[in-house]
Structure 1
Amino acid sequence: METKQIKNVLKAPAPHMVGDGFRVHNFFPGGYEIDMSPFFLLDYGSKIEFSARKKPRGVGVHPHRGFETVTIAYHGAVAHHDSSGNSGVIYPGDVQWMTAAGGVLHKEYHEENYSLTGGPFQMVQLWVNLPAANKMCRPKYQTIKQADMAHFDLPENKGKIEIIAGNYNGIKGNATTFTPIELYNARLNKGGEATFNFPENFNTGFMVIEGSVKVNGSENIAADNFIYFENKGEEIKLEALENSVILILSGEPINEPIVQYGPFLMNTEAEIRQAIEDYNQGRFGYLEE
């Protein structure tokens, strides 16, 4: 099987704040112009210490339409509420998969007890585009707790692959998706090795969350870097140079036009204008600040 080679190793862009609770490095679409469809956005919250505080930091009520937000917790805890009546808290290892689709209001804050104590905080948020046929579907919400997450144990205690979505070694992930998506957390102990196989045309990238890894037996990559792969070949080999966590993203591209305006991700400018009108007319529901 042909190796899928590295196209580029991308360093973390300068961080910016989202609200007062999320310091993120936007790898794409802002930081680098790369094609990672169906993944439209990757905000990486590298590890930071937040001080204790009574009033939780976060982001107030805001709308989304036309895509899904996927939040993956590594350190800290986040509470979510939305106008469809969904709410929940994710802790380290957990995943929150919100399908905004036809339109939802939501807010995200540091969970109350975490806020009172403070401590390390590290998250990833992805925006996953939806095909035109599904952009106006009913919103839904999936919470995937680490304790319930499908996983594959590597031999000789070398770590495990947590399958958020897709299929690894015959084990299917918990999340349901609208298009073919492979999304895993590879938690490798020092010396642990894992092999991944993705179709040539799938856009593929690895975010090194912790530790450092050797890719395809040649290039060493440290934490806080994004590894962007060629659309040639299928096989990628990883070796952990120390205890490491790597977020694995691969998906079939959605070959449709995209028009983005703030929190709306649609196919045409007319659909963006409709989204703005619907939001202004209160058609996204109601959510208390």
Structure 2
Amino acid sequence: MSNPQTGRTVSRVFTAAQTQEGAGFHVNRPFPTRMLADFDPFLLLDEMGPMQIAPGNAKGAPDHPHRGFETVTYLLAGELEHKDSRGHAGRLTPGDVQWMTAGAGVVHSEMPSQAFQQSGGAMHGFQLWVNLPRTDKMMAPRYQELPAANIPTAQSRDGKVSVRVIAGEALGTRAAIKTRTPILYQHFTLQPGGVLEHAVPADFNVFAYVIEGTGRFGAQALSAHARQMVVFDHDGVDLTVRNDGDAPLSFLLIGGRPLNEPVARYGPFVMNTEDEIRQAILDFQAGRMGQIRA
């Protein structure tokens, strides 16, 4: 059982804003918004969907650059194809994760696959932006791709709590992904009556984002439902989530060690100073981040 003296409380709960991204697809965005600018070391979280898309109407994110951070794409439904200026290409299907470290700079695209464009269907996924420390912002770009079948999973003894461990460790199971910034990224499902008691590093900023259902979070057992972000305080080394309802509760648990560095950001560039942002723009305009070949 969780020790009341070490259990984290919830400092705030708020609903994600709805906005548009890429070529005009709708996302639910808990941050950055007027409610929360960022969540060190995280810069953005977008939930794409869930939505039903008619044949021929799927939209994506055409060619665009990134520098100075990482993008983590986690797909729950649909199919995406990605290409980049370094000749890398791949496909994401339900349950897959792509971890792209933009580093010094890359141009890439994320678009619905041709097959999904023709058929339409359900689209649902997440993109998380993870800031890089100053020492890594100009590292060589890299990809880590993890098919759904290779993502470690675990389950509680009573079978009421299950998790897909994308980053960090949960229920005694460690992720396969290697991260530059120490973080945890876990997709939990709690069946009715399920209780999660989860240790987290004392220095991590931690939040939950509810995908489906309603749960009770933290030492106060505050209620939160789908499309809401739950921010945990720094007053403990473990946290508790309960599902007192009659339907499954699905949520992301995300946390990381704050970088505590200056953040300068402009669109797809995140650096430490305004001069570095200006240089990123110049490098992109001069073609030094490359271009995607047809």
TM-score bracket for this pair, using the shorter chain length: over 0.9
Deviation >3 Å, runs of 4+: none
1:12-31 correspondence runs (5 A): 12-20=16-24, 22-31=25-34
Whether contact under 8 Å (2:30, 2:228) holds in the other structure is no
Whether contact under 8 Å (1:56, 1:112) holds in the other structure is no
**Separation in structure 1 between the aligned mates of residue 143 and residue 39 of structure 2, nearest angstrom:** 23
The count of corresponding residues between Structure 1 and Structure 2 is 287
Whether contact under 8 Å (2:81, 2:90) holds in the other structure is yes
2:86 corresponds to which residue?
84
Whether contact under 8 Å (1:73, 1:94) holds in the other structure is yes
Q: 2:96 aligns with which of 91, 94, 97?
A: 94
Whether contact under 8 Å (1:152, 1:171) holds in the other structure is yes
**Separation in structure 2 between the aligned mates of residue 81 and residue 107 of structure 1, nearest angstrom:** 5
Q: Over the residues paired in the alignment, what is the CA RMSD in angstroms? A: 1.7
Whether contact under 8 Å (2:161, 2:196) holds in the other structure is no
Q: Percent identity?
A: 36
**Separation in structure 2 between the aligned mates of residue 130 and residue 143 of structure 1, nearest angstrom:** 19
**Separation in structure 2 between the aligned mates of residue 116 and residue 158 of structure 1, nearest angstrom:** 38
Give the partner amino acid of 1:97. Answer: W
Q: 1:169 to 1:77 in 2, by over 3 A?
A: same
Q: Does 1:62 align with 2:64?
A: yes
**Separation in structure 2 between the aligned mates of residue 30 and residue 228 of structure 1, nearest angstrom:** 15
1:258 corresponds to which residue?
263
2:8 corresponds to which residue?
4
The unaligned stretches of length 5 or more in structure 2 are: none
**Separation in structure 1 between the aligned mates of residue 248 and residue 75 of structure 2, nearest angstrom:** 18
Task: With the length of structure 1 as denominator, give the TM-score of the two structures.
Answer: 0.94
The unaligned stretches of length 5 or more in structure 1 are: none
Deviation at residue 32 of structure 1 after TM alignment? 2.1
**Separation in structure 2 between the aligned mates of residue 49 and residue 17 of structure 1, nearest angstrom:** 17
Q: Does 1:174 align with 2:176?
A: yes
Whether contact under 8 Å (2:22, 2:62) holds in the other structure is no
Deviation at residue 74 of structure 1 after TM alignment? 1.7
Whether contact under 8 Å (2:39, 2:205) holds in the other structure is yes
**Separation in structure 2 between the aligned mates of residue 191 and residue 117 of structure 1, nearest angstrom:** 38
SS of the residue corresponding to residue 281 of structure 2 reads: helix
1:140 corresponds to which residue?
142
Whether contact under 8 Å (1:56, 1:111) holds in the other structure is no
Task: With the length of structure 2 as denominator, give the TM-score of the two structures.
Answer: 0.92
